[in-house]
């Protein structure tokens, strides 16, 4: 549980959520992630896709706060993240997938330029990088998701991979 490798992974997942790097996770980090995705793909906040992304980001924040913000101060500290989010989500990855899905669904709709319901490997890599996954990991993870090698990735595969990544399997 407290191996250096595990600690390193926890630190990198926390940093991924703490988009503004101020040491705790709050609602602003989720809106920052939404804004970064909109900027990356040149979509406006007022568009339908932009609105859906902000609604998804708020639901994602509410879900995470419900699990991890134990003192109810609207901030998730690193201790709350490790003791609440990581442990409880690790025990129940489906719950994390349910919490993250509306946000990811909206993010993928923005990344899916031609609207055919699947995104390309490089598009998924861009989404992951914007969400704080390191570039090397993002590239490898995106390619690994494309099991049949046709260059397209479906939403379900992304949601479960994202859940696995952020729930930190030991
Ligand atoms: Ca923060
Ligand atoms: Ca708190």
Instruction: Please report the pLDDT score of residue 142 as a whole number.
Output: 81
What is the distance in A from the centroid of ligand 1 to the CA of 21? 5
Instruction: Please report the pLDDT score of residue 14 as a whole number.
Output: 87
Q: Which fold, 3-167?
A: Recoverin; domain 1 (1.10.238)
Query: Is the distance from CB of 126 to CB of 40 less than 8 angstroms?
Result: yes
Output phi, psi for 64, to 5 deg: -65, -40
Query: Is the distance from CB of 112 to CB of 123 less than 8 angstroms?
Result: yes
The highest-confidence range among 21-25, 115-119, 162-166, by mean pLDDT, is: 21-25
What is the distance in A from the centroid of ligand 2 to the CA of 70? 6
pLDDT digits (tens, 9 = 90+) for 28-51: 999 999 999 999 999 999 999 999
What is the distance in A from the centroid of ligand 1 to the CA of 28? 7
pLDDT band at 170 (very low <50, low <70, confident <90, very high): low
Give the number of whichever ligand sits closest to the CA of residue 32.
1
What is the distance in A from the centroid of ligand 2 to the CA of 135? 30
DSSP bridge partners of 95: none
Query: Is the distance from CB of 33 to CB of 57 less than 8 angstroms?
Result: yes
Break the chain into its structural domains and give their ranges: 3-167
pLDDT digits (tens, 9 = 90+) for 125-155: 888 888 877 788 778 878 888 878 888 888 8
Give the number of whichever ligand sits closest to the CA of residue 75.
2
């Amino acid at each position: 549980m407290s191996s250096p490798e595990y600690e390193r992974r926890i630190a990198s997942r926390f940093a991924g959520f703490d988009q503004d790097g101020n040491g705790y996770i709050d609602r602003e980090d989720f809106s920052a992630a939404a804004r970064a995705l909109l900027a990356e793909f040149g979509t406006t906040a007022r568009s339908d896709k932009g609105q859906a992304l902000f609604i998804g980001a708020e639901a994602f924040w509410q879900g995470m706060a419900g699990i991890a913000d134990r003192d109810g101060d609207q901030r998730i500290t690193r201790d709350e993240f490790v003791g609440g989010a990581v442990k409880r989500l690790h025990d129940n990855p489906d719950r994390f997938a349910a919490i993250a899905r509306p946000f990811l669904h909206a993010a993928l709709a923005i990344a899916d330029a031609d609207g055919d319901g699947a995104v390309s490997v490089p598009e998924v890599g861009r989404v992951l990088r914007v969400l704080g996954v390191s570039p090397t990991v993002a590239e490898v993870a995106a390619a690994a998701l494309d099991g049949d090698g046709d260059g397209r990735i479906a939403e379900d595969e992304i949601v479960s991979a994202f859940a696995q990544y952020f729930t930190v399997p030991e």
